[in-house]
Structure formats: C-alpha cells, structure tokens
Structure 1
Amino acid sequence: MAIDFTMSAEQRKIQKMAREFSENILAPVIPASDKEPDPMLAYQKTKGAYIEAYKAGIAMAMLPKEYGGAGLSCLDYVIACEEITSIDPGFACTCLCNGLGLMPVLWYGSEEQKKRFLGAATSDPTGTYLSAWTAGEPPGGTGGTANFDSPLPKAGIGMTAVREGDHFVINGKKKWSSSPGWDGLGTNTQTAIIRTDSSVGGTEGLSAIVIERGTPGITWTFLNKEGHRTTSNAFVVFKDAKVPVDNLLPGAVGNGDLVINRNFAWSGPVAAIAAVGVARAAYEDALKFLKKNTAGSLTPIIRFQNAGYIMGDVAAKIESARYFAWRAADYLDKHSQHAELIGAMCKINVTETMIDCVYKCMQIVGVNSLSTEYKFGKYLREASILPIYDGGNMGMQRRRVHGIIADENFNPRAIMDDDFVKFEKSMEAIGTVADPVSKSRGIMQAAE
C-alpha cells in the first residue's frame, strides 16, 4: 500500500463490489434475522445471502487463488469487510470464521491437506460450505478461551486426542465454536485445538486437527447470544469421536497455542474494521437525524456546538481507527501473515474506541436512540461484542502484547520501522499465575 493511503483501482473495485453486495443483497435479510428469537432460525435466514457471497468469492476471499480462493491480500480483505460490517458484523463474522477454520491449514498443513481441505472449501457447487474454528472451552474446571495459555499443568485446554492406530479418539467439550452448521449437525470442517499429549499440561502438548462433518460422537448446540445474532456459535461435545491421524496438521504438532495466537492476530484488523463499520453506520445515521430534527428549536440539532463538536470527534476517531486497521493488515501482508503484536494492539485500541463512538452518537440523538425505529440499539449490541471475542481484549490480546514488550530483546521501534516481531512460546502465559515467586517459596518452605 502506498504511504499516501490511496486505494488502487483494484481495491476500489473490491470496495464497490462489497458495498453493492451489502446494500442490495445482505441488508434486506438482516432485520428479520436479528429479531428472530431462535438462534438456528436466525442463522438460517442469512443462508441465501451467504450463497450469493460464496458465488461472488466473498466467503472464501482470504484463501489463495492456487487453491480456488479469491486471493485477496489482508489489506484488500479489510477494505471489503468494512462495507459488509457497516450493514451487519454478524454476517461478516460468518465469512471471517471460514478463515479462522482454514488459514491454519494453509499455514501448518501438508500440501495434500491444503489441496484436500482448501480445494473442497472453494469448489462447493451448493455454495453453502462452512468451516469452523474450535478452540475455546466452557468456563469452570480447566477451560475457557482466555486462560488457554496458563502454564499450570492442570489448566488450559482440556479436550484430548488419544491415538489408537490410524485414528485419534477425541473427548471433551468446546464452547464458542464458530458455527454448528446450517442445520446444527456441524460445519463441513472445523479446525480444533486439542491436547494430543496429556503427559504435559498448560501450553504444552497442544495440536491442531481438522475434523470433518459427519464424524460420529459429536453433538452441537446453538448458543443464544445478545449480539451477532445473524451468525452462529456452538457448544460442542466430543465423546469417543474418531478422526483420522492424517487430519493432524503437521506444522502445528505441539504448537496449538501458537496457532491460537497467530489466528487471533490475523483476525485482529478484521475485528477492528468491523468496529469501524459499526461506528460508521451509527455516525451516518446520527448525522442524518441531527440534520433532520430540531428538537423544538429554530435550527437543526447539528447547528449546536455540542452536537457538532462531538460528531466531529467521532468522525476523527473513525478515520484514525480505519487507518490503524489498514496498517495492521498491511503489516500482515508484509510479514507472512504474522502480526502477533500489532494485530492485538489494533484490535484492542480500535474495538474499545468504537464503542465510545457509538455511545456518543446515542447521547447526541438522545432518548430516540432507544427506539426500535432506529438501529442504535443494534449498533451498541454489536460494538460491545467486538472487544470480548477472539480471546478477549482483557484476556489473551493484552497478555500477548504484554509478553512481547516485556521480552528482553523487544525493539520498541520495530512496528514503526516495519520490522518483523517474532512471537515465541516464552512470551506466553505472562501474568497468568498470581505471585509465582511467593508460591514457589511456600512450596520450598513446606518441603523443608
């Protein structure tokens, strides 16, 4: 990308295509989907739009052309995503989760696996193909997405895969899998983070395995959510599910923890641009309201300083947030889709800033922003989700940033100089154990 932030002719074409799809095909189905109380039916109401997105190359846009994808760069993808998220970030999440499920195959799979799984994902004649990302686990016990990198031997991911001959036998529970499929019987594939070596705990012994639809021993349940109701998440139970050993991603053996960090760094600028899209929509709607209504005065509300100043601040924050998302995506493109530091910083900064922008719009519109006649309630629901998913800003996202900058070899000017910042296992788990020095002393004293 040129430093003057000028989009190329091809990028403008991508933006135009995504905008036309979003406004003409997606927008009409969202109101009914968002209001549908049954989470499965709500999801299914977007299926027709998804098929059109698949045919247009949007649903698998992040995959390389050599495997049948659209071959968009991370930056191109972010530009397209803003247009979709300005209409509905939930639907955009459905498409993004294809990437969360399939990018690990691209990064860590064998050539045979890439052709098999990515090729199938991009050549579905029905246009309904879905992939899922299955990493987080239910709270309580050892689970929970945000504590997956705890170094304690009995913490972190508890789902296990035990090898028996040419299969793994998988047992455990997962929560927040990105989709249970259109019918609740599973996506075409899901990439799951599983403990393949139970002799070690914490971040050790984790791997990534691709699990295909129809595998016996797996049950899916739709989760009912406050926001992102147009997409789906699942609670998944594995009971003696047998998966071929050939589905283990060889580059991820023992490094499932790094797969999680890389995946959520890759999605960082996408989550950020989703927040930009939501805030942009709220800002544009608020501006229309303020120019149209007088609130009983002799002039439209926008003519008052308070309204004008606040809306000007909101506009500036949206612009700066967009450029941060572009910058993080550009960094991904330049560094082999590694952005563990700037991807997290971007997601944290932008998603939290955009919540404030949406609320500021509601304040200026006033009590009418609560009316279902307008969309501000939905904007607030959607914006509030973005900081708490992908491991959570107050969970793994900030912890990753902390772990990197605390490293003795960290160069604080690396991002500014566009240098590669490597993320290593030694940077995980920082701050996850309370006062480890005191605890270790207590253990030693007890031993004495």
Structure 2
Amino acid sequence: MIDFHLTGEQRQLQQNARAFAQGPLASARETYSHLPDQRSRFRSTRSTYRQAVEAGLIKGQIPTELGGTRSSFVDAAILLEEFYAVETSVALTIAGTGLGLTPLILAGSAQQHERFLKPFLSGEGEPLASLVHSEPGGTANWLEKGGKGLQTTARKEGRYWVINGEKLWTTNSGGWDGKGADLQCVVCRYSQDNSPQDPSADPSAAILILIVTPKVIAQNEPGAYTVLHDSELTGLTATSGPHSRFMNLRVPEANLLASPGTGASVVEQAFGTSAALVGALSVGIMRAAFESALQFAKTDSRRGAVPLLQRQSVADLLIDIKMRADTSRLLTWKALHGLQHGPGDFRARLELCLQAKIFSADNAVRCVEDAMKAVGITSYTKDQPFPRLLNDAMCLPLFDGGNIGIRRRQLEKIFQDDGYEPWAAFYGDQQVNN
C-alpha cells in the first residue's frame, strides 16, 4: 500500500515547526545582519538556538529508542523544510547538530549514548554537535587507493589517542566560544608515526572516529585545539564551519567511537542520511522563492492591464518552480522512508538519498533564478528576498558532498557494481524486466 499522507503526529510536528520558524527564526536575521563578520553573526544566534533547544528541536533529531522524540527520518525533513523556508543560517546550525550526533547514534555503545547524548536530551542550554570530516585541500577522493587520503591522523599512546591535523567546513565544530563544540565526532586516519598514507593500502582500513568534548580539550595543553578562523561566506552568513587545528590533542581511549577500519562506513551512513536532508533544505528554498514570486505576480502588473500571473511566460516559470519543489519533496521523503524501512540493501537506499540531494539542490538554484526572471529587475534589490535566497541556494550543490565531485561519483560507483539492480530501491532485490 502506498500512502503519502502525513500522520497526525507529523501534522502537529509541521505546525509546531512552522510556528517556531515564523516566530524566533524569522527575527534572527535582524539580530545578526548588521554585524561585521561571520563569527560575530554566528554567535549572535545563540539565543535563537537556545529557544530551539527549549522547543525540543534538538531532542527531536534523536531517535525515540535513545530518549529523543524522532520517530522517523521523514520527521527531520518536515522540520528542516519549514525552517529553511524562513531562515537558513540558524536552520543549518540546528541541522549541523543533527549531523554531528549521527555517528554517535549509529556507532556508539550504550555507555557512550548515556554519556554523550545527555546534554542534547536535556532541553536546556545551547549544545552543539559536529561531524568533523572535511579538510583544507578537500576530501572528495579521501578513500581513493593511491591518493593522499585524510591528513588528520591519530596514533595510540597508552590509554590515549593523539590527534594531529586540520579541519575545515565542519559545521558547528568550534562551538559558541571557539573552544570546541559540546560534541565533535572527529574523523581521522590511523598512523602510529604520522606518516603519509601507504599508496598500496586500502584507505578505509585506517579510518577511525574519536569523540572530542570541551572537557577533553580543557585537559590538554593550551594550543592542542585551536580555531584558526571562520571563512566569510556569501550565503549562510551566520553559520560557523571553521578552520581548526589539532596539535597532539590527547583523547581518552573510552572516546573511541569507531575503531580503525570501521569509521569509513559510519561516515558513509551519516552522509547518506544528510544527503537526503539537503533535499529538504532545498525544498525550503524553492518554497520561499515560489511564494514570493507568486505573490508579486498576483499583485503587480508592471504597468500593464493585467497582473503578471496572467502572462503566459510568467505563469510557465512559476508552474515549473512548483513542479520541481513538489517533485523534490516527494523524492526526499521517499529516500528517507526507504533509508529507514527499505526495500533494498544499503547501496540501493543510498542511491535514492544521493538522487534527492543532487536533484533537489540543483533545482533549488534553478528555481530561484526562474523566480527572479518572473519578477524582473526588482528581484535584484536587497529589499527583496531573492538575492539572499540565491546566495543560500548556491551552496546547496556544493556542500555536504559536492554534487559533481562526490555525490555523482558515488552514484557512478553504485552503477558500476556487477550486481547493481536499477530499481531495487523501489521494488526490492527482484530484477524488474521490461
């Protein structure tokens, strides 16, 4: 049976998310827009983030079996679409914490869940989490045999792991004060002597994940963890994905989340989920662009005899935007439902998540452009939402695994598998013949 209806609980979730988006989120931009740099703008959103915590929006990204309130991945998509249609920067900070918690949710022991999830379940404060993976110089080909691989390494010294290296574009990782997020899941390459990656070895065999907290950082020498700078961004101007450095940072062995050889799979699963959730972010952008352009087209004639919406060229642009938004939403929900419930194996489920990310992100940019075409030169002024939407949309095909360098290459690899079944994500593992 196929059912596209939201449950009563999901309807209530949507209404609550919309109320928060149109309340605290909607006013956040007034708080940060006049500030001079990325770091100060990010820090100014702390009170809004606190309200999100108090409203249960962080707890809502943790599954019910671990004490949270998330019953499905589709729930997260419903939340993020509502948020991203109104305010992208704070929404991304919230989503970044969800991504940062994902490796812990996937790979943590019962003891680690009890210990490290507690701040995010309390409904108090402003706890941030981060998946710390990307590095200066890029990580698109980090698992390619013969390549340089990850430059952030970890070695074992007695009852500690020691991290060295630099990270970049890792949302929330610096925390509010630049001293580290409440939870950093740091992806490292095992190297006992900090040597370059062996070109003949399988890179995935050396990948591990360590949990770093402010307590761990405080127990180290000054300078063991440093936020070097926050990049100034054209869009998403109140987020933080800093350039950070680890210098002989000692991490207790109890904080090993994924041992060497198991970390790469955890990262792939985490970024599989986030790929589909970028689809929800993209729908939020498309929705905002459509609603603004539709309102303009209904009320402005550009000195003509009829509103712009009665001009076929304008109507066709809006029709295309609406169809892309609805299609992207359906693909995103299908991918997230399939990720949790099937059918198909993990590779089949990942395929739909990748499609949702690529299709939706690329179309978000196109939809904002078409909305601006429908409105005309007025759309280019700063008192209109379109310049901001375009700047924010441009990041969607680039981050969380670029659509060209990473996400399409993942699809390409899936297609190349000898046992690849093109329709397994929809029909299961039975080959469908024409």
Structure-1-length-normalised TM-score: 0.88
Cα gap change, 1:118/1:335 in structure 2, threshold over 3 Å: closer, same or farther?
farther
Residue 132 of structure 1: which of 130, 133, 137 is its match?
Answer: 130
Partner residue of 1:439?
A: none
Q: Which runs of 5+ in 1 are unaligned?
A: 421-448
Distance 2:56 2:429 in 1: 32
Does the CA-based 8 Å contact 2:133-2:187 persist in structure 1?
Answer: yes
Partner residue of 2:210?
A: 209
Paired residues, number: 413
Are residues 1:376 and 2:386 paired? yes
Partner residue of 1:435?
A: none
Does the CA-based 8 Å contact 1:68-1:123 persist in structure 2?
Answer: no
Cα drift, residue 335 of structure 1: 4.5
Q: Which amino acid aligns with 2:28?
A: V
Percent identity, aligned pairs only, is 30
Partner residue of 2:233?
A: 225
Are residues 1:191 and 2:185 paired? yes
Residue 242 of structure 2: which of 231, 234, 241 is its match?
Answer: 234
Greater alpha carbon shift after TM alignment, 82-91 vs 195-204 = 195-204
Greater alpha carbon shift after TM alignment, 27-36 vs 10-19 = 27-36
Greater alpha carbon shift after TM alignment, 104-113 vs 234-243 = 104-113
SS in 2 for 1:145: coil
Alignment of 1:41-80 (within 5 A): 41-80=40-79
Does the CA-based 8 Å contact 1:68-1:119 persist in structure 2?
Answer: no
Residues 180-202 of structure 1: CA deviation (Å, up to 9, x unaligned) = 11112211110011012467453
Partner residue of 2:341?
A: 334
Residue 162 of structure 1: which of 155, 171, 175 is its match?
Answer: 155
Alignment of 1:380-419 (within 5 A): 380-419=390-429
Residues 298-330 of structure 1: CA deviation (Å, up to 9, x unaligned) = 111111111111111111111111111111111
Cα drift, residue 222 of structure 1: 2.1
Q: Which amino acid aligns with 1:105?
A: L
Are residues 1:99 and 2:92 paired? no
Residue 377 of structure 2: which of 356, 367, 370 is its match?
Answer: 367
Are residues 1:314 and 2:321 paired? yes
Are residues 1:277 and 2:284 paired? yes
Cα gap change, 1:374/1:103 in structure 2, threshold over 3 Å: closer, same or farther?
same
Residues 349-393 of structure 1: CA deviation (Å, up to 9, x unaligned) = 111012111100001111111101111001001111011111211
Does the CA-based 8 Å contact 2:205-2:260 persist in structure 1?
Answer: no
Does the CA-based 8 Å contact 1:261-1:340 persist in structure 2?
Answer: no
SS in 2 for 1:267: helix
Does the CA-based 8 Å contact 2:55-2:123 persist in structure 1?
Answer: no
Cα drift, residue 419 of structure 1: 5.0
SS in 2 for 1:146: coil
Cα gap change, 1:355/1:256 in structure 2, threshold over 3 Å: closer, same or farther?
same
Distance 2:26 2:276 in 1: 23
Distance 2:191 2:375 in 1: 56
Cα drift, residue 259 of structure 1: 2.2
Partner residue of 2:176?
A: 182
Partner residue of 2:84?
A: 85
Does the CA-based 8 Å contact 1:191-1:210 persist in structure 2?
Answer: yes
SS in 2 for 1:194: strand
Distance 1:418 1:73 in 2: 20
Does the CA-based 8 Å contact 2:180-2:214 persist in structure 1?
Answer: yes
Distance 1:34 1:381 in 2: 14
Q: Which runs of 5+ in 2 are unaligned?
A: none
Does the CA-based 8 Å contact 1:60-1:99 persist in structure 2?
Answer: no
Distance 1:5 1:395 in 2: 33
Does the CA-based 8 Å contact 1:184-1:222 persist in structure 2?
Answer: no
Cα gap change, 1:31/1:370 in structure 2, threshold over 3 Å: closer, same or farther?
farther
RMSD over aligned Cα atoms: 2.0
Residue 248 of structure 1: which of 232, 253, 256 is its match?
Answer: 256
Partner residue of 2:301?
A: 294
Distance 1:419 1:186 in 2: 44
Does the CA-based 8 Å contact 1:60-1:98 persist in structure 2?
Answer: no
Cα drift, residue 282 of structure 1: 0.8
Does the CA-based 8 Å contact 1:40-1:184 persist in structure 2?
Answer: no
Distance 2:429 2:363 in 1: 26
Q: Which amino acid aligns with 2:362?
A: E
SS in 2 for 1:347: helix
Distance 2:41 2:226 in 1: 20
Residues 87-122 of structure 1: CA deviation (Å, up to 9, x unaligned) = 122222111111221111121121111111112322
Distance 1:399 1:136 in 2: 17
Does the CA-based 8 Å contact 2:106-2:266 persist in structure 1?
Answer: no
Distance 2:234 2:305 in 1: 40
Partner residue of 1:432?
A: none
Distance 2:34 2:284 in 1: 20
Does the CA-based 8 Å contact 1:62-1:73 persist in structure 2?
Answer: no
Q: Which amino acid aligns with 1:267?
A: S
Residues 9-64 of structure 1: CA deviation (Å, up to 9, x unaligned) = 11100000000000011101124424533112111222111111111111231212
Residues 67-87 of structure 1: CA deviation (Å, up to 9, x unaligned) = 332223101111121101101
Residues 256-283 of structure 1: CA deviation (Å, up to 9, x unaligned) = 2222221111011210110110111011
Cα drift, residue 230 of structure 1: 2.3
Cα gap change, 1:26/1:75 in structure 2, threshold over 3 Å: closer, same or farther?
same
Q: Which amino acid aligns with 1:191?
A: C
Does the CA-based 8 Å contact 2:103-2:267 persist in structure 1?
Answer: no
Cα gap change, 1:167/1:375 in structure 2, threshold over 3 Å: closer, same or farther?
same
